[in-house]
Amino acid sequence: THFGYETVTESVKQERVAGVFTSVAESYDKMNDLMSLGVHRLWKDHFVSSLNPGATNPIGMPQRILDVAGGTGDIAFRMLQHAHVNNGNPNVHVTISDINPAMLAVGKQRSLSLPASHQSSLSFLEANAEVLPSSIEDNSLDLYTVSFGIRNFSNIPAALKEAHRVLKPGGVFACMEFSKVDKYPIFNAIYKQWSFSAIPLIGQLVAGDRDSYQYLVESIERFPSQDDFRDMIAEAGFAIVGKGYEDLTGGVAAIHKGIKP
């Protein structure tokens, strides 16, 4: 049946993704710097400051955040830093969830060098974004983030529905993901050249793993355009503000946001 076919391809994709991230976990952070020439750090800083975690009204109110596909912790650590230091709000809790125990293990190890007050505001959860555990209750979160994770999901609409389920009314869904550079043909040509030639080569030389990085590049190519992804977020029941997304570096990446009505 059609349904049967979809189930098979989804589980094949999930296994493939598990293999890729188990294999890249140790080299993941170094590879991000090399592949993006360090730019991913600026995007992540911008993503987190645009969300302004810890800015509650009145100041100091509790805030619950779930960072899905949080991997080695880049977004979660920045959110805690922003909440504690920029907004003086230690009452923010961030859960890093990821389907892959190897990525979470690297995240846990890295979190040990955070200040103790940040560590106590952090927890880890092994979970598939498409079927979050019932311990994450309906209408329980203020903010749901997913950064460079969603294109790996087998069933993106299911993950968006789960995001909608767990957010409180008024809660924010925020996603940063690689996107399309179609508006700038010359830059796009250079970017494509870099993606398809340099990234698998760097993967081979630095991580000894050409195939995983080839997969990552292809998954970027297959991910929907800014407008199409915005429409999927709306389809899941989120309210969209303005055009619904912000391009980063000409659309190499984009930040999409939706609000649960």
Q: Both tokens of residue 20?
A: 């890729």
148 interacts with ligand SAM by CB under 6 A: yes
Task: Tell me how far the alpha carbon of residue 148 is from its chain's centroid.
Answer: 4
* Of 83 and 156, CB closest to ligand SAM: 156
Query: From edge to edge, which strands make up the β-sheet containing 253-259?
Result: 122-126, 92-98, 63-68, 141-147, 167-178, 253-259, 245-248
* Of 153 and 223, CB closest to ligand SAM: 153
According to CB under 6 A, which one of 31, 35, 74, 226 is a site residue for ligand SAM?
74
Helices (H) and strands (E) in the chain, counts: 11, 7
Which one of the spans 54-62, 115-123, 141-149, 228-236 is the region binding ligand SAM (CB under 6 A)?
141-149
Q: Both tokens of residue 172?
A: 């924010």
According to CB under 6 A, which one of 71, 171, 251, 258 is a site residue for ligand SAM?
71
Could you say which residues in the range 8-47 bind ligand SAM, by CB under 6 A?
17, 21
Q: Are 98 and 127 a contacting pair, CB within 8 Å?
A: yes
Residue nearest ligand SAM by beta-carbon distance: 71
According to CB under 6 A, which one of 63, 128, 212, 226 is a site residue for ligand SAM?
128
Q: Both tokens of residue 154?
A: 């087998």
Q: Are 101 and 131 a contacting pair, CB within 8 Å?
A: no
- Sites of contact with ligand SAM (CB under 6 A): 17, 21, 68-71, 74-75, 98-100, 103, 128-130, 147-149, 152-153
